Structure 1
Amino acid sequence: MTHATTPGTALITGSSRGLGAVIAQRLADDGHPVAVVYRSGAQAAEAVVAGIRAKGGTAEAFAADVTDEAAVTALVAEVADRLGPVTTLVVNATGPQPEVDPTEVTWQDHLDQLTFFVKSPTLLMQAALPAMRERGGGRIVQIGSDVIERVLPDMSAYTAAKAAQHSLTEIWARALGPDGITVNTVAPGWIPVERHADVPADAMTAYAADVPLRRMGVPDDVAAAVSYLVSPQAAFVTGERIRVNGGHALG
């Protein structure tokens, strides 16, 4: 039986907190053994694992730098040993997103973003691919952003990298489709998580006022989209970019 009908091990990068932690819990609720991957913050990762186990799910925490080739290869092998072959890959890890005037952006600024949103996804896909092919299929979901439509001048490096990331999604969807592997992007708007704790309430109010649904999104909104895309119900959906932003980027 292929991954298209049987939940397999799900590896979620950057899942010790924020969107990744909620996605990990949702996929565990769906029946996937879950690899909670983090770069720092072991205590937070173990808390996510404990939460999953408390609800009857299966999870383990794994520390890895997902921008390093050797580390990614070792990670996917360790997850397979402890939880089973990775057949669902959720590329969620991110790094700092500084705001820089586009006239002052450096090539290093671009490289920093491309490392997270082009290099790391490529390494992860390549490491997970053999098991997906062997099992007759798999799911890859990249966590993108609606920033591509918002055209924010001070976010040029981040925006360019996020656009490149979705281009990978489309190319991989075409290339890996014959292997039964679907590849999609979930593109959230501004979804407040722990790192936004110091954002003034009036800033969120102003943002929500510009959202057609008149509210901020919550992590569960993103997790629900990921859950759908890795489910059997989405077996014929690939190469798509689903915005989860309450219509905020509509023209």
Structure 2
Amino acid sequence: MSTEAGVVLVTGASRGLGAAVAARLAARGHPVAVNYHAGAEAAHRVVDAINAAGGAAAAFAADVTDEEQVSDLVGRVGQRLGPVDVLVVNATGPQPEVGVEGLTWQAHLDQLVYFVKSPTLLAQAVLPQMKARRHGRIIQIGSDSVERALPRTSAYVAAKGAQLALTRVWARELVVLC
């Protein structure tokens, strides 16, 4: 990261790993946009804790699987905190366990929405500003599930594998842009 603490947008930051990442980055001096979809109270608790600890944070509601909401989210973050310097793609949806006999194509599509569509929408929304400043980072939260291959998780694992592939390709493609 640069020596200046730029604005970080953490998706799915109202709880769990996203909340921890948001708090840690705020403690390092980054203004943090805490994104949430349905957990408004939890997101505001995360923001309150960050601000009480001397950091800077604000909560932003948006469904990161919806193109219009993602564009609006990035615009609102820019207006309130400044342009996004670091995007942490963390949001996830339900991850039901289902065996191959009960697996549907829709189950695969549901996982791909979170782990391929959402990162794509988010990256496309922040890249113009990053390119203009010739600086930025996109961090995707992965999973060792691709290697562990636990039974009854094939839709989730397949989508996380696709996300890993996106990350690898974008790392090579975008290194020359930012």
| 1:144-192 Cα deviation digits (max 9, x unpaired) | 1101111112000000000000100011111100123xxxxxxxxxxxx
Q: Which residue, out of 106, 109, 112, partners 1:108?
A: 106
Give the alignment's TM-score, normalised by structure 1: 0.69
Write the distance in 1 (CA, Å) between the matches of 2:18 and 2:48.
Answer: 15
Amino acid at match of 2:152: D
Write the distance in 1 (CA, Å) between the matches of 2:13 and 2:113.
Answer: 18
Counting only pairs closer than 5 Å after superposition, residues 127-138 of structure 1 correspond to structure 2 as 127-138=125-136
Write the distance in 2 (CA, Å) between the matches of 1:73 and 1:9.
Answer: 16
Counting only pairs closer than 5 Å after superposition, residues 1-251 of structure 1 correspond to structure 2 as 4-180=2-178
Write the distance in 1 (CA, Å) between the matches of 2:59 and 2:19.
Answer: 11
**What is the number of residues matched between the two proteins?**
178
**What percent of counterpart residues are identical?**
62
In structure 1, list runs of 5 or more residues that go unmatched.
Answer: 181-251
Q: Pick the structure with greater CA Rg.
A: 1
2:58 aligned counterpart, secondary structure: strand
Write the distance in 1 (CA, Å) between the matches of 2:100 and 2:138.
Answer: 32
Runs of 4+ in 1 over 6 A off after TM superposition: none
Amino acid at match of 1:115: V
Further displaced range: 109-118 or 97-106? 97-106
Shift in Å at residue 75 of structure 1?
Answer: 0.3
Give the alignment's TM-score, normalised by structure 2: 0.97
CA contact (8 A) 1:4 1:138 kept: no
In structure 2, list runs of 5 or more residues that go unmatched.
Answer: none
